[in-house]
Structure 1
């Protein structure tokens, strides 16, 4: 379940297409090295959710909130030391508010989410060239559903 993008614009467009398919309560885990395009991809997701605000990395605030057709809660978990810290950030409160949660560096909490019964979509971005990316949707139950919708 991979897509190739050849520019920042194409990465945003793919994010936009995926964002338009997301539903309230969806959780996305984004993985990729620094500069892989996680925030750029999230900018596209936001557009798909009807958000006009400029989306930036929440590195120093842990989470940014954006209002659209469906709210977007954009987490950066890079500085977390323990997965349980996600709950300290109010993770469950954001779920209860009915938005889409996007977690950059989310592999830290992936096992905890699974163990706590949360389904999620995992997407990795791999920088394959100066402007090219491979965007992979992992084979989770929610990822399979998303891929089927994208393939229509």
Structure 2
């Protein structure tokens, strides 16, 4: 059974605030896919989550590096697969070793490696909304595991 929960954010500050709320919920072992068009707020969300966890350094998009890693009380791996041409690149890069019970993994553009990835706990969808010319987003959380359902229950 899947659960879904949506939020409307009117600007990047509200997206950051929602991500800070979510930072109170994440646990080692969580696998989260971030889905949305370029500029839809995926990396902004990661930045807000990292701030909520107390990380004060620069949080940048891993578009060119493919992965950024942050070590706090647990390790957070932020992947961006936009440049992948096939799922085999995931295995070729050795990224599967990061999917474990001790790290949090956030994957942007997961569809580029879907055949090589395990089922995520959550998919967070970011879509543009037209709110009287405001820079709005619909941020929709969808669970695919019981852990994902627990996250949604805690966000309500």
TM-score using structure 1 length: 0.87
Matched residues, number: 148
Distance in 2, matches of 1:70 and 1:20, equals: 13
Per-residue CA distance 1:53-90 (angstroms, 9 max, x = gap): 22111111100111222221110001111113212222
Distance in 1, matches of 2:74 and 2:6, equals: 26
In structure 2, the gaps of 5 or more residues are none
**Which is worse superposed, 29-38 or 100-109?**
100-109
Q: Cα distance, 1:111 vs. partner?
A: 4.7
Candidates 122, 130, 135, aligned match of 2:139: 135
Indicate whether 1:78 and 2:82 are aligned.
yes
In structure 1, the gaps of 5 or more residues are none
Find the counterpart in structure 2 of residue 6 from structure 1: 10
Distance in 2, matches of 1:110 and 1:136, equals: 20
Indicate whether 1:148 and 2:153 are aligned.
yes
CA contact (8 A) 2:30 2:101 kept: no
Pairwise CA RMSD of aligned residues?
A: 1.8
Candidates 87, 112, 115, aligned match of 2:91: 87
Partner SS for 1:2: strand
Distance in 2, matches of 1:32 and 1:87, equals: 23
Distance in 2, matches of 1:55 and 1:29, equals: 18
Larger Rg: 2
CA contact (8 A) 2:9 2:138 kept: yes
CA contact (8 A) 2:32 2:122 kept: yes
Distance in 1, matches of 2:28 and 2:34, equals: 18
TM-score using structure 2 length: 0.85
Q: Cα distance, 1:120 vs. partner?
A: 2.5
